[in-house]
Amino acid sequence: MKKIAALSIILLIAACATTPHKSSGLIYMQQGQFDKAVKEFKLWVEETPNNPEAHLWLGRAYIGLRKYTDAADEFVKAYDLDSDTGKVRKEMQENELNTLLTAGKQMFQQGDDEKALKYFKYATKLNPEDERPYLAVAIIYNKQGDYQKAYEYAKKASELNPKDAQAHFYMAKFLQAEGKNDAAKNELLKTIELDSTFSKAYFDLGVMFFDEKNFKEAEKYFKKVISLDSTNLDAWLNLGLSAYRNNDYEKAEKVFKKYLELNPEDSQTWFLLGTTYFQLKKYEDAIKSFDEVIKLEPKNVDAYNFKALIYNKMGKKKELNETLKKIQELQKENKQ
């Protein structure tokens, strides 16, 4: 076995030993000594800076050190330098593609969208049939608000892999931004058909139906989000609002109370719960809710106004006068 291994190294060197730095680098690669390989390949690049093969091997050595952005930069150089023969481009396979994707992801997480776009776009050149980089580009353009380009790349990803739920989701995002709501709904429905756990798609469907004042349908989708993630505050709040707007105050009460168990410092939802109790004629509970609002926002005039309205309905003149006096004080403060 040792003779065979030694022979393979000799053959490898003999096949491509145009420079000692290349042959030394390849030996170090075989031995897993990637730091030494990087040094040799850097010297090779210095000797022949326009040699795409030198950049390719330097990039591969960087992978061994897990320096993925450095590796990606070398692969980009190798690709651009190999515009004539295309020989090196053909050698760039799955490892190089995955490195570009990894580097792109790292840059995206660090907030460097432009560098991430660069790596992802080169990944589309390495393998035009892989939907992953197209979808990654779509996500960045969507983040930047360039919905037209986001749609184009998401559509390409979807064409390459019609079962890619994320591609349909980002196509829906673009269509929503363009006001094409029916088409957006269709894409979102395809998304959840392909991935029944895609909570963001359910949430967006709920929002769309809410905006159309179809509160019953909106409730259905917000409930689905909660079934997938019981701690999703936005889903709980929107479910409560949907029930409230549908005049189902008993359901709204239960949902707002559940939301406040998860997020008790939200003054706006305490206010909503207070108005819900008011609609249900649970005046004492409503007063308590507005008191919670005032604890969190001592100068919330609207909460005092509701308390005054309730005290008036309950015939509590003393409490009403005290509340009206407080309202007058706050109004004077606001004018100053």
CB 243 within 8 A of CB 216: no
The answer to whether the CB of 64 falls within 8 A of the CB of 34 is yes
Does the structure show a pLDDT above 90 at 16?
no
Q: Is residue 124 part of a domain?
A: yes
**Domain span holding position 107:** 9-128
pLDDT band at 1 (very low <50, low <70, confident <90, very high): very low
- Position 4 pLDDT exceeds 60: no
Average pLDDT over residues 64-85: 96
pLDDT in tens, 18-38: 689 999 999 999 999 999 999
CATH number for the domain spanning 25: value is: 1.25.40.10
What pLDDT does residue 18 have?
64
Q: What is the pLDDT of residue 10?
A: 44
Question: Residue 24: its pLDDT value, please?
Answer: 95
**Of 102, 15, 95, 88, nearest to 55 (Cα)?**
88
- Which one has a higher pLDDT value, 5 or 258? 258
Q: What is the pLDDT of residue 336?
A: 61
Mean pLDDT estimate for the chain: 93
Of 250, 248, 282, 288, nearest to 270 (Cα)? 288
- Number of domains into which the chain is organized: 1
Backbone angles phi, psi at 93, to 5 degrees: -115, -140
Confirm whether 108 is domain-assigned. Answer: yes
Summarised one tens digit per residue, pLDDT across range 313-323 is 999 999 999 99
Q: At 287, is the pLDDT very low, low, confident or very high (cuts 50, 70, 90)?
A: very high
Is position 80 within any domain? yes
> Would you say residue 276 has pLDDT above 90?
yes
- Does residue 184 sit within a domain? no
Model pLDDT for residues 137-185, shown as the tens digit of each residue: 999 998 898 888 989 999 999 999 999 999 999 899 888 888 899 999 9
Give the mean model confidence (pLDDT) for residues 271-283: 98
Higher pLDDT, 92 or 84: 92
The tokens describing 87, both together, are 């020989």
Is 107 part of any domain?
yes
pTM of the model: 0.77
Query: What pLDDT score does 6 carry?
Result: 46
Lowest mean pLDDT among 72-76, 123-127, 140-144, 279-283: 140-144
Q: What percent of the chain has pLDDT over 70?
A: 94
At 213-256, the pLDDT tens digits run 999 999 999 999 999 999 999 999 999 999 999 999 999 999 99
Say if 134 falls within a structural domain.
Answer: no
- Does residue 22 sit within a domain? yes
Q: Indicate whether 197 belongs to any domain.
A: no
Question: How confident is the model over 77-86, as a mean pLDDT?
Answer: 93
pLDDT confidence of residue 8? 47
Burial of 298 (0-12, 13-18, 19+ CB in 10 A): exposed
